[in-house]
Structure 1
Amino acid sequence: MSLERVLVRQAGVVTRAQALACGLSADTVRRRVRAGVWRELHPCVYLVGGHRLTDEARVRAASLWGRAAGAAVTGPAAAFWHGMLDRAPGAVELTLPRAMHRSPRPGVALRRRDLPAADLVEHRGVAVATPPLAALETAIAVPRGSVFLDRALQRHVRFPAVYRSYCRTIGRQGSAAMHRMLVSAADRADSEAERLLVRLLRAAGIDGWVLGHPFGPYLIDLAFPAERVAIEVDGWAWHMDAERFRADRRKGNALTRGNWDLLRYPWHALDGEPDACIAEILETRELARRRPA
């Protein structure tokens, strides 16, 4: 084993056992640590001088430290490892089997639970949650998590695999939030988004709206006919096909030609920024009332 090859493969991180296997003596390792040439990130896990502490190095260091206890990288750190996030979180989440114990470490968040083998994979030398589980857990952990999950479903994971992973988490921490998000993600008819908009309008005391308002050959998702304000509700982008996209744009163009004000809201906006959506609807209706007949 060559130390140089280990450092290239592991972003400048090496364990004491690996260093010894590469031919260094225990005294040499201790001297380099004492001299500050090697920086100890975790017990017996070092960043070798001349290498930056990158996100990859932090995740690898946490994984190497926890490997002996059967730990796996999970949560947003796993999503980063699979290329779903540009940056790793400040604390790398490690999941330990319930029977194992580790003392807390700076920069590492420990969870104790037994993950099914179907939710674990070895990827680029790191034991990590599978992409479906990583996507699910990250979606309920990061701001605008539905936007993250929608992008993941477009680029990285398939819905059936995500759903199967969810089924294995039922009853665990976060499973209720996962369920709510998956119900919305699975809604190809956008009915969940429309129901959410209706709840927001009713909570704000706004009336005068009609669902499925006829307009030529089209139906407006939700309309304020008196002011000619049309609201089109979009579901999740991952199941938007080209024909549906073109049909929506044809309807939007027809509304514009008919002198209607058109507002479009994706589910993510209604769920994540409801006050801003309601404020824009109220403002648009008020401006429409002032419009010359």
Structure 2
Amino acid sequence: MMRKKYWTTRELRALGKTGNEITAAVRRGEIHRIAFSLYTSEKPTDMVKLAALAWARPGLVYTGPTAAFLHGLMPMSWPAHGSISRGRSSDGGKLLRLTTAVQQHSVRVNDVPVLSALATAIDCQEVGVRERRDFLQRSYGGVKGNGRLAADLAALPPSRRARAADLTGGLITGTASNLELRAVRAIVIALDGLDVTVEVNSMIRGYYFDIVIPEARVCIEIDSWFYHSAETASSEDFVKDRWKGNAAVRWGWTLLRYPDASIRKALDEVAAEVLDTVEFNLANPRARKLRTHELPTDRQVWLWHPR
């Protein structure tokens, strides 16, 4: 019986347990009562109780302060808040405060269904704007951060998108490292007032580049010594990195590369050079015709290179 995490009273009785035996097992600490007709074999922490309640109610999505707790924004407070699909009972007992709603876009945190980080930040008015923006920046970091943020934004009801835009305006997401984040912040500030977009971990010719300014056809790579030098990078990564740069340049992009030491020690100079490059490209659109004929080497290197 202990291999299972959660049971209803009906399931325990199906195992041959009487009411007295269930009560005795609870008294001995072999199982724990979460709510009416709901038991667990684990110590009933806040997370265990939330997971048990979600297990017992398919379709439950945690919202409000409970979503904020699951995302690490606020401490847990009971009763938990959640939504359930229309047509289902909204009686959550003592531990659940439920609302009914159309099926909501959700993610899983610790395998528990919860509103997205973006939707949670919009609703969590108890937390200051700066703290929520920092939270969103952490939540949507990494190579796929921008894609996840776009999906969560698109899933919001139209009535909430304006608030989302206010909360995420100027936010830097999708960064893979603190080093890259420092560079992006400096470049965003340097380009303030120019009608350009700063994209992070954006794709050109099948390759991801750290920073892309599409209107000026400028792409930027932040190269750490460990991952990009010939001495420490793998031979495959070293080869890929060179062909990646070639593909961008051959197809009309200005590629700027900066080592990590320059981000740490000469960030003002980096930002100034990016600004000058962007302004020059905007003022002088390339007169030469862009390529239309693709060589095999213009494709991603792993599709054709012998290694």
Per the normalisation by structure 1, the TM-score is 0.50
Per the normalisation by structure 2, the TM-score is 0.48
